A and B are shown apart, each in its own frame.
Chain A
Amino acid sequence: MKVIAVGGQMLKPQICEYIKKFGNGEYSPISESDFQAALLVKNGQADYYFGCCATGAGGSLAGAIAILGYSNCASISLPGKVPVREEITQKLKEGKKAFGFTDGSAENAVRMLIEEIDKLGK
């Protein structure tokens, strides 16, 4: 079972639903404030941090950047840029733990992230 901390800032209930839907029972989401969610990852209580906002970087990752450091964070979509599978694979391999994306791409972003995290485990 992998635990995903859902932090800042938009669509949190939907993102938790997407994690359950695409995770096939193997992923459990925890919805928290952005700082609390990032702390869960830092303390090892969650495997990854997902966050969503209008820019994919601000509200999504502010707390995570502060707690986990920028080097552990990545925006996988921005306004005008959709998530790209190869980039997600690359960032997961680099060991990044916190991922931000835009509200428009949330469903796709969560689906790709979970699929790629799965592949990484195998």
Chain B
Amino acid sequence: MANFSVLEIVVIGLISLWASVLANKNIAVYNDGLRPIMGEYTSGRMKKQEFVALTFAMSFGLIVGFGIPFSLATQVILIHTILLATDLIGIASPNKYVAGLVGLLFGIGVVVGLGGVVTFFKALPVNIMDGLQMIGDPVVVSFSVLPALAVAYQFGAKKGLVTLIVSLLARLGINRINPITIGDSSVDISADGIALAVGMALLIGFCVAKSNKGRKEGEQQEEALFSDNAKAIRRNVIPLAIMGALISLGASLHYIGGSPMDVTFLSKGQIAEAAMIAFIKVIGYIPLVVTTGLVSGVWASGGICDWLFGLGYLVNPFAAPFVGAAGMSVEVFGVRYLARFMDKYPEIRASGDYIRTAMTQLLEVALLVGGMTAANAIAPTFGFFVVAGLYLINIISGTKIVKMAVGPLGAILVGILANIFAICHLL
């Protein structure tokens, strides 16, 4: 039995096709690292060959070491797997037709290939998939600590600790009130969600207070410097809106997720939490996407990560394309306002940096623990041994693999080893 549907092949195929075309036409790329360099390429100062090589260098490691392990562990495609590859396909292709065709084939290949691997894993003597499901468990419980970490970075450990305690109290408080009865139905409000919301409110409160106090005059007006590029992005609103529609559609069907956290929540059926984390990530990525977009005139094929996904998670597949297209259009026309907003509140801009740092570090810890737990569940005799060893050897060798991916990759490797040993009667 194949574990994917025709609809999934069509939707992922279209996302991959369209993203490849957008990359080929220099309208949008996913990898934030490419965007600032696009200007060099489009102006002809950098040769195509050199740019293709650079794109490969920048994307390949993340596809293999980041996109695929999370997609396998959660059985929801982490969007990096598709959109990092479509950057390369689009940039390397001679024209939009080749780009579209190769993109389409690649998208289909990802769905069929990942499905095949999962089917294969399930057929093995030692069960891997149940173990891999455990990788995300620590993420689920620890993600609401995120705002406290960002506050600690930006405003000192003391305020960070206060935020942590207030979030914890909010969490305990909501558990006492739950379930809330409205009429005949009763609902549980997510304790994680409340803790996260309270923490974010504190973070934004600290930012606004500090920005108002320390307003600097004569700040660099980013938007004024790059108004031609902002116009170039606006000219492409229609192709970009189509991309937004496809992204939200895929997210609404839970085929794709925007971050390791999203795909973990989706795989566990916690849709509201997935959406919440997708919306919060926006603050972390507004400075990055707006800056790289304005510098280059090229937009992000996933939008400002990951609110288009978040919108998709929350609406049904019929509404999702409209919501996604509208969301992407808001981004495209809103660039200049976002740039102005960041000039006005430099502390919120700085928060973006700290949220990204905090999110990465949190995932590094949570996914190492998750990867070790999963590896131990699959192979109690050597699971911890392999993952701990790989994690540290990776660091000693200069961190060739993104740290947060070592846990999941290690768990998958342990699963494969366990089966080889079982077949050879070594276990």
Query: What residues of chain A have their CB less than 8 Å away from a CB belonging to chain B?
Result: 8-13, 33-36, 39, 53-63, 65-66, 70, 75, 78-83, 102-105, 108
Contact = CB atoms under 8 A, between A and B. Distances in A.
B403 interface: yes
Contact of A81 (B34, B61, B288, B403): B61
Given A59-B353, A60-B33, 9 more contacts: A55-B32, A55-B33, A58-B32, A58-B34, A58-B288, A79-B58, A79-B66, A80-B61, A102-B399
B403 A55 contact: no
3 nearest interchain CB pairs? A80-B61, A55-B33, A58-B32
8 contacts: A9-B288, A9-B353, A33-B287, A55-B32, A57-B33, A66-B226, A70-B40, A80-B401
B347 to A, nearest CB: 10
Contacts of A39: 220
Nearest to B57: A78
B399 A62 contact: no
Contacts of A54: 32, 356, 360, 402
B37 A57 contact: yes
Contact of A108 (B58, B350, B398): B398
B353 A62 contact: no
Given A34-B291, A78-B61, A58 B399 contact: no
B398 A82 contact: yes
B60 interface: yes
Among A8, A9, A63, A82, residue most surrounded by chain B Cβ atoms (within 10 Å): A9
Contact of B357 (A11, A79, A105): A11
A62 B35 contact: yes
Contacts of B5: none
B398 A105 contact: yes
Contact of B356 (A9, A57, A78, A102): A9
A65 B33 contact: no
Contacts of B352: 9
Given A10-B353, A79-B66, A65 B402 contact: no
Given A9-B356, A58-B32, A103-B360, A79 B61 contact: yes
B115 interface: no
Contacts, number: 124
Contacts of A108: 398
Interface of B, secondary structure class, is helix
Contact of B400 (A8, A75, A82, A103): A82
B292 interface: yes
A78 to B, nearest CB: 5
B34 A65 contact: no
A53 B355 CA distance: 12
A59 B32 contact: yes
A108 B396 CA distance: 10
Interface of B: 31-37, 39-40, 45-46, 57-58, 60-62, 65-66, 153, 220, 222, 225-226, 287-288, 291-292, 295, 346, 349-350, 352-353, 356-357, 360, 397-403
B287 A70 contact: no
A79 B56 CA distance: 11
A55 B353 contact: no
Among A8, A57, A60, residue most surrounded by chain B Cβ atoms (within 10 Å): A57
Contacts of A57: 33-34, 36-37, 58
A68 B258 CA distance: 32
A21 to B, nearest CB: 18
Contacts of A65: 36-37, 39, 295
Contacts of B350: 33
Contacts of A56: 33, 58
Among A55, A62, A70, A82, residue most surrounded by chain B Cβ atoms (within 10 Å): A62
A72 to B, nearest CB: 12
A106 B46 CA distance: 27
A58 B61 contact: no
Among A61, A70, A80, A103, residue most surrounded by chain B Cβ atoms (within 10 Å): A80
Given A53-B33, A65-B37, A81 B57 contact: yes
Given A12-B353, A57-B37, A79-B62, A70 B45 contact: yes
Contacts of A60: 33
Given A10-B356, A11-B357, A70-B39, A105 B32 contact: no
B288 A59 contact: yes
